[in-house]
């Protein structure tokens, strides 16, 4: 029976590769999750703003702005992100009316881990018929 050498490095490259690649995979998935969440958030803000501009036009209504927002979100992302769309008319300090389109949507999650909750975004536009 031979002596066991403690300074033998055979097989350590496989372990190093496995540990390093696992860590890099988690970092990649975290960056991908962040990028996906930011993309969805920015798309929702854009759709809400466009819906508010559409609803604030002369001869249009807040309900038409909501419908336009739902349609844009459904085409851009998925109809499940357009389930909670609402509108309201706000007045600024100088008495100007502003149409506000509010959107609440879930955060897209990749895998089992990710942010909880959802997005609450809004788009605003000055009402033209004042």
Element (H, E) at 39: helix 12-55
Domain encompassing residue 101: 9-126
Q: For the segment 67-114, what is each residue's pLDDT rounded down to a tens digit?
A: 999 999 999 999 989 989 999 999 988 989 999 999 999 988 876 566
Element (H, E) at 105: strand 97-106
pTM of this prediction exceeds 0.85: no
The answer to whether residue 1 is domain-embedded is no
Q: pLDDT at position 117, please?
A: 76
Q: For the segment 35-72, what is each residue's pLDDT rounded down to a tens digit?
A: 988 999 999 999 999 999 999 999 999 999 999 999 99
The answer to whether residue 3 is domain-embedded is no
* Structural domains in the chain (count): 1
The answer to whether residue 104 is domain-embedded is yes
The answer to whether residue 2 is domain-embedded is no
The answer to whether residue 67 is domain-embedded is yes
**C-alpha distances in angstroms, 42 versus 8, 18, 47?**
54, 36, 9
Q: pLDDT at position 88, please?
A: 94
The answer to whether residue 83 is domain-embedded is yes
Phi, psi of 92 (to 5 degrees): -75, 175
């Amino acid at each position: 029976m031979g002596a066991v050498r403690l300074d033998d490095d055979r097989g350590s490259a496989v372990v190093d590769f496995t540990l390093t690649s696992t860590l890099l995979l988690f970092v990649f998935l975290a960056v991908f999750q962040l990028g996906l969440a930011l993309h969805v958030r920015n798309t929702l803000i854009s759709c809400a703003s466009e819906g508010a501009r559409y609803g604030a036009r002369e001869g249009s209504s807040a309900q038409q702005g909501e419908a336009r927002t739902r349609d844009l979100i459904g085409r851009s992302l998925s109809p499940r992100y357009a389930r909670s769309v609402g509108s309201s008319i706000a007045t600024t300090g100088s008495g100007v009316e502003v149409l506000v389109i509010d959107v609440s949507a879930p955060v897209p999650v990749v895998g089992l881990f990710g942010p909880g909750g959802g997005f609450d975004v809004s788009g605003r536009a000055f009402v033209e018929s004042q």
